Structure 1
């Protein structure tokens, strides 16, 4: 069975969403000296890089990019790792970033390393929120709210062929 692919956001729309999210991050953190943009490995990390780029264009905030690596399919069996030292993030504002929020499981496990140190706050940013949360995760920064069935799949491509698709 071939799944249907429906375009939800084209490249221009994705860029507009990311730029707006960067402005929102700055508005909510303008009193901070620096923030940490922590992208979940894969499309979440690419989104974090794009958010960082826009944030640097519009604000004086110092922003540190961090990659969060975990096994999305079996997060309990794998270690959640960061590509920096935990002590470098102490008392900082952390913005955890992923491409799609479905159940909240990936975000919940992605927060694990940050819970081992004293941080100022942890916020979440997502390009597409599907609102099927099973974990108490609500994104502070959302590019696009999309009502889907639990069986639907959202595909985010950030790169040469930037777009968001709904597969059903």
Structure 2
């Protein structure tokens, strides 16, 4: 196991991503972070907190709940209902691997009248099986399919490891 990103690097990447989100959404009526269950939700909360600290944009959050181990059969639910009309929705996950989880997580938002949908990930592994590219990426990491990335944003010290 080798460390890919340490706590300081992750926090810097979150700050940079928040500034990018702010720059690209200056004129939106609001930003809604939709964090995918697990580390995606925690990353979403970190981005939301940072964006609120650097801007006066209207920022809201919700969780996209699904079973990552079986997304095609999983029921996809949202933690709460928010008014999304005219807002930018940013779908957030910790790692973009094949894109399957993100593709299914988009489903609840496809019939909403959002201004635009963007994707933010901490680590992009570049194994896209679906035509998805993140709008905001903390770190690009080319890996083999046999390697795994473990993101830990739950403790006082954040880390990303390659297993």
Work out the CA distance in 1 between the residues paired with 2:157 and 2:53.
Answer: 23
Alpha carbon RMSD of aligned pairs, Å?
1.0
- Establish whether residue 124 from structure 1 lines up as the match of residue 119 from structure 2: yes
Deviation at 1:18, TM superposition (A): 0.4
Once residues 13 and 59 of structure 2 are traced to their aligned partners in structure 1, the CA distance between those partners, rounded to angstroms, is 19
Question: Please, which runs of 5 or more residues in structure 2 have no aligned partner?
Answer: none
Taking the TM superposition and a 5 Å limit, the aligned residue runs for 1:4-43 are: 5-43=1-39
Q: Which runs of 5+ in 1 are unaligned?
A: none
CA–CA distance in structure 2, aligned partners of residues 28 and 91 of structure 1 = 15
Runs of 4+ aligned structure 1 residues displaced above 2 Å come to none
Q: CA deviation at 1:74?
A: 1.3
TM-score (norm 1): 0.93
| TM-score in terms of structure 2 length | 0.96
CA distance in 1, matches of 2:85, 2:80: 12
- 1:160 is matched with 156
- Residues matched between the structures, number: 162
